[in-house]
Amino acid sequence: MSLRQRPVSTEPAPPKEDSVPAKEKLAPPVPPKSASSLWILLAAVGISALVYFASNSFITGGSLDYLAPYALCSSDSSKVYTVDAQNSQTQCILIDNGYIANTGTLEEVKLHWKTKVAGTSPSELQIRYTPPGSIVVPGLSDSHAHLLEYGASRELALEGTKDIQETVARVKKYILANPEIQRNTSTYVLGGGWDHTVWPTTRWPTAADLDSDPVLRGRPIILQSKDCHALWVSSKVMEISGPFPNVVEGGVIFRDDSGQPNGMFLDNAQDIIFQPALTDGDLLRRFSIAVRDVVAVGLTSVHDAGLNPASLKFFSKQAELNKLPIRIYGMTFFDENGEYWGNTTKPIIDAANGRLNARSVKIFADGALRTSGAALYEPYADDPTTTGAMRITSEVLHHWLPLFLRDGWQVNVHAIGDRANGIVLDVFEASLKGINISASRPRLEHAQIITQADRERLGKLGVIASIQPTHATSDMWYAQDRLGPERVKNLYAFRSIINSGARIALGSDFPVESPNPLTGFYAAITRLSADGESPHGSDGWFPEERLTRQEALRGMTIDPAYASFTESTLGSLEPGKRADFVILSQDIMTIDPDQVLTTKVIATVIDGKPVYGQF
């Protein structure tokens, strides 16, 4: 995904108040009108949970004091999934001062509290039970996402439009619904999420499509594609951004019959489009939207895949102010034309009580499959004129990667095509000689199309595959047309990657996909769309590449913790680790797969305190 982030120095809006102090809890997301019935159901689940807690809690007084020791126990025997090395299940977890003090049966945690904790705490032990049928799992992580871009995408969301005309109409509706934008034709209109692969046309959209509407004509409009590897812009934006070079290395400028840019810019060509600096208020609003939504779906940690200096400064400022409501693992954006900073910049480790870490660098090797920019060994099946493009040369990679590894930085490389993955693994193989792999933990971000030989090499080298299961279920409808019947077997080969001995970490790449980790869990174990379909039928798309439920749960808990150097404090519910956990309304480890997506988040908890829901 391409990154367009700016700094912000103000603080997030204060959360709404409820039974949990405002400083301890975020307000839940405002439900979209189109999903009112779903949110009524969610509210009902939440009310039922509260009623159950009120009638079944054994505490000495009033509401639960999250600062005092308390035990959270499963009402259905051992339904706390610890995700330890043995994948154990237990009845209770004992929380003390934001950490897990003990796990076990109710009697075991009571005994531990009496012998180890009670002497330091004057209060009686508070005990709460989860609702019947619910489970507790470690805090869920997204190993590859973009927080600020997600917030931006929710303001003018174009995902789901069925053709160019409907997309233009949605932009028009947005302008007419915002009087300030409507009055000022010089205000930039920014949106994202359009997906040409689902439109009934083979052509890309152009500036002329935007300019055809009198409300849009003459306005600066920039619309990001679903995969964030293409910009669709208006004539006004091209006028402001030009003149344009004839060729952009690692990018494409689409042109009309007369040779003039037509409004479509791919991969590195996006960088030549002028975009105004966002205000602090803009970025604050986007960050607040993103945080509100991710905690509502059970995410406690997000690996933000590409922080430029300005956005890193923003997150660092929030950390200094103790205003990071979730954990962020940042990947610093790489600029091959800039000066080397690996030996002059110190990694950020456990800032703001473990809320911010930034000890890795993010490098783009190629583009995306959706926009035919992924670098392939052989031409695209549906466009034999191209093999995609590398956004960086192997010579540059061979120069920079050893430097970052030498200076203690994790190196995370975006690689999608088989040629891009092969080239990057060549560089890793050469650069990792003499390097402690457990100390460096290099990652392939996406690792989408990998040959069998390179999958085996991935495992031997110890490179982590940061993968996105919902990309597989989104792309499966057009993938074979693009790659052909044989090469497509190397696409999203998750089971084969694990069988090679490689570690994985699961994510979504939101806003490209939904931030809901349960959609990734479902996609990983079924290889089916949300409505239970696939090009290969109800058994799933290449069902032999499915993950087990245990692998999927570990892939969004302890595996991301390892991939971010935090496995000693996060990723499992074990004594001594931080009390990050999620209460889910159903047991996703045992229910029928087609019921997984009906599961609700009852509470999301960080450092023992709810940031969404309550218990």
Cβ atoms of 449 and 491 within 8 Å: the answer is yes
In the prediction, which pLDDT does 313 show? 86
pLDDT band at 77 (very low <50, low <70, confident <90, very high): confident
pLDDT in tens, 354-363: 999 999 999 9
Cβ atoms of 236 and 228 within 8 Å: the answer is no
Alpha helices, DSSP H only, in 359-492? 394-406, 418-431, 437-440, 452-461, 469-475, 479-483
Cβ atoms of 332 and 19 within 8 Å: the answer is no
pLDDT band at 123 (very low <50, low <70, confident <90, very high): low
pLDDT in tens, 534-577: 999 999 999 999 999 999 999 999 999 999 999 999 999 999 99
What is the number of helices (H) and of strands (E) in the chain? 20, 24
Residue scoring higher pLDDT (52 or 510): 510
| pLDDT of 17 higher than 50 | no
What is the full DSSP assignment across 478-529?
Answer: THHHHH-TTGGGGBT-HHHHHHTT--EEE---TTSS-S-HHHHHHHHHH---
In the prediction, which pLDDT does 152 show? 87
Give me the half-sphere count of Cα atoms (radius 13 Å) on the Cβ side of residue 185: 9
What is the full DSSP assignment across 103-136?
Answer: EE-HHHHHHHIIIIIGGG--SPPEEEEPPTT-EE
* % residues pLDDT > 90 (the chain): 78
Mean pLDDT over 313-327 rounds to: 93
| pLDDT of 41 higher than 70 | no
In the prediction, which pLDDT does 21 show? 33
Distance CA 589, CA 572 (A): 16
Phi, psi dihedral angles at 403 (to 5 degrees): -65, -50
Which CB contacts under 8 angstroms, 24+ apart, belong to 271-274?
272/241, 272/244, 272/245, 272/248, 273/222, 273/231, 273/233, 273/237, 273/241, 274/237, 274/240, 274/241
- Range scoring the smallest mean pLDDT among 141-150, 161-170, 224-233: 224-233
Mean pLDDT over 267-286 rounds to: 87
| pLDDT of 115 higher than 60 | yes
Cβ atoms of 388 and 366 within 8 Å: the answer is yes
User: CB-based contacts of 572: which residues, under 8 Å, 6+ apart?
Assistant: 82, 83, 84, 138, 557, 558, 561
pLDDT band at 15 (very low <50, low <70, confident <90, very high): very low
pLDDT in tens, 432-444: 999 999 999 999 9
pLDDT band at 280 (very low <50, low <70, confident <90, very high): confident
- Range scoring the smallest mean pLDDT among 273-287, 366-380, 587-601: 273-287
pLDDT band at 29 (very low <50, low <70, confident <90, very high): very low
pLDDT in tens, 501-534: 999 999 999 999 999 999 999 999 999 999 999 9
| pLDDT of 5 higher than 70 | no
User: CB-based contacts of 286: which residues, under 8 Å, 6+ apart?
Assistant: 148, 150, 151, 152, 154, 155
Range ranked top by mean pLDDT from 1-5, 40-44, 287-291: 287-291
> What are the residue boundaries of the structural domains of the chain, listed by start?
148-272
Report helix angle 394-406 to 418-431, nearest 10. Answer: 40
CA distances from 536 to 451, 492, 496, 529, 533 (A): 21, 15, 18, 11, 8
Cβ atoms of 220 and 263 within 8 Å: the answer is no
- Range scoring the smallest mean pLDDT among 13-27, 168-182, 259-273, 459-473: 13-27
pLDDT in tens, 379-404: 999 999 999 999 999 999 999 999 99
pLDDT band at 13 (very low <50, low <70, confident <90, very high): very low
pLDDT band at 303 (very low <50, low <70, confident <90, very high): very high
Mean pLDDT over 398-416 rounds to: 97
- Range scoring the smallest mean pLDDT among 81-85, 189-193, 477-481: 189-193
Q: Under CATH, what is the fold of the domain 148-272?
A: Diaminopimelate Epimerase; Chain A, domain 1 (3.10.310)
| pLDDT of 273 higher than 60 | yes
In the prediction, which pLDDT does 463 show? 97
Distance CA 181, CA 184 (A): 5
Query: Is 296 strand, coil or helix?
Result: helix
In the prediction, which pLDDT does 33 show? 36
pLDDT band at 279 (very low <50, low <70, confident <90, very high): confident
In the prediction, which pLDDT does 211 show? 96
Mean pLDDT over 157-184 rounds to: 95
In the prediction, which pLDDT does 122 show? 58
Closest of 35, 82, 26, 44 to residue 602, by C-alpha: 44
Eight-state DSSP code of residue 93? E
In the prediction, which pLDDT does 306 show? 84
How many residues belong to the chain? 615
In the prediction, which pLDDT does 121 show? 62
Distance CA 598, CA 74 (A): 20
pLDDT band at 120 (very low <50, low <70, confident <90, very high): low
